[in-house]
Amino acid sequence: MSDLSDTCNGTSYNTSTHICCFDTLSPLPNVTSGVSWNLLGCCGTEPYVGTLQLCCGRSPPVLLPRASPTHFCCGGSNTFNRHTEVCCQDQVFKKPDLYQSYGCCGNKLMSFRTDLCCGSELLPKPRTMGIYSCCGNALVDTRRSLCCDGVVHSRPMFRPQDWICCGTQIINIKSHVCCNSAVQLRPGCFSACCGSVSFDLESEQCCGGILNPLPSYNSNMFYCCGKRNYDVNKQICCAGNLLEYKPGSECCGNATHNVSSHICCGGLVHPRKHEIYTTCCHNKVYDIRDHVCCWRNLKPRPFGSSTGCCGEGVYNKDSHVCCHRVVRTIEDFNNGLC
């Protein structure tokens, strides 16, 4: 080991003879030859060699002797041999059979061959046939029982597929519905939930968590507008506002306009001054025969219908090509200048 100097909390020292652990200077451990110094470290303010000791715990850490390379910390005050022991919540258990697999169930030793862990309860594996799973701290056969949020219910033998969980309760889907974990009677053949309340889809409509009545006729023509429903043949919903519907009308922001005489650009209504040739360039209107919209900017059409956009400018599509927002002649393009 070469002589190297360093400082520890303002004090110079030789790294071949001392070590600094959290501003505390200590002499290097006196170890026998053959020990790898690469495993030298600090355990709090004390130095240690990882092949000989274990640093266990955190507040404060404790140095414990390491009996073998297969020994590790178990909590802050114990060590265990991974080959022959198991550590469960700071407690060390010897493996009864080295040819079996073991684990922990809380602070208890469990065998993966003979035990099951449900919650923190150690339970023996059933010897009877079944499809078992945990329900809280209990073990249930899912063919005969239902687990509803940790509560066990016997599954009825007649049509067991018709029974489901609703919160901690069990319900029959033929007579009840589950709405946000609340058990509700099924009001009709076509039932649904509106929040925590059930309703009949043929007589009511749920809009924003509020039930609205449906007429007995043309109910399929009713839609939601916020928390209210409306007849699409009579009204139109614009930005959450119900307005009178007129044939040919559409929304523009929170107002309506007649699409044959007006156009909506950027949420503003404009008259169709150019009839069918009127269109939008962002929030501006223009005649597509005279201008072209390039990156929200209106540009004249110097080349008529052959005018195209290239970036914010225009070009003649008959004689030029737009390459990455740069106008090139067709000849340059064919020569690979693009």
Is residue 67 located within the same domain as residue 2? yes
Is residue 74 located within the same domain as residue 1? yes
Determine, yes or no, domain membership for 145. no
Determine, yes or no, domain membership for 10. yes
* Residue 49, amino acid: V
How far, in Å, CA of 116 to CA of 186, rounded? Answer: 39
pTM score of the predicted model: 0.62
User: How distant is the alpha carbon of residue 199 from its chain centre?
Assistant: 31
DSSP H/E element including 309:
strand 307-310
Determine, yes or no, domain membership for 159. no
Range of the domain at 338: 299-338
CA distances from 292 to 56, 134, 153, 283, 328 (A): 75, 69, 71, 14, 20
Provide the token pair at 213.
């009545």
Is residue 306 located within the same domain as residue 335? yes
How far, in Å, CA of 243 to CA of 226, rounded? Answer: 13
Which residues face 326 on adjacent strands?
323
Determine, yes or no, domain membership for 227. no
Is residue 310 located within the same domain as residue 332? yes
Residuewise pLDDT in 10s, the chain (338 residues) = 345 789 999 999 998 889 999 999 999 887 655 556 567 899 999 999 998 999 999 889 999 999 999 999 999 999 999 999 999 999 999 999 999 999 999 999 999 999 999 988 999 999 887 889 999 999 999 889 999 999 999 989 889 999 999 999 999 999 999 999 999 999 999 999 999 999 999 999 999 999 999 998 888 999 999 999 999 999 999 999 999 999 999 999 999 999 999 999 999 999 999 999 999 999 999 999 999 999 999 999 999 999 999 999 999 999 999 999 999 999 999 998 88
Is residue 31 located within the same domain as residue 78? yes
Determine, yes or no, domain membership for 314. yes
Determine, yes or no, domain membership for 274. yes
Is residue 338 located within the same domain as residue 314? yes
Q: What share of the chain is helix, strand, coil (3-state, %, to 5)?
A: 5, 50, 40
Determine, yes or no, domain membership for 141. no
Boundary-marking domain end, from 83, 106, 141: 83
Q: Are 115 and 125 in contact (CB under 8 A)?
A: yes
How far, in Å, CA of 36 to CA of 29, rounded? Answer: 12
Alpha helices (H) in the chain, listed in sequence order: 330-334
Is residue 7 located within the same domain as residue 79? yes
Is residue 278 located within the same domain as residue 258? yes
How many structural domains are present in the chain?
3
Is residue 258 located within the same domain as residue 320? no
Is residue 263 located within the same domain as residue 333? no
Q: Are 197 and 185 in contact (CB under 8 A)?
A: no
Is residue 283 located within the same domain as residue 304? no
Boundary-marking domain end, from 35, 54, 83: 83
Is residue 249 located within the same domain as residue 311? no
Provide the token pair at 111.
């065998």
Determine, yes or no, domain membership for 186. no
| Tokens 């609205």, located at residue | 212
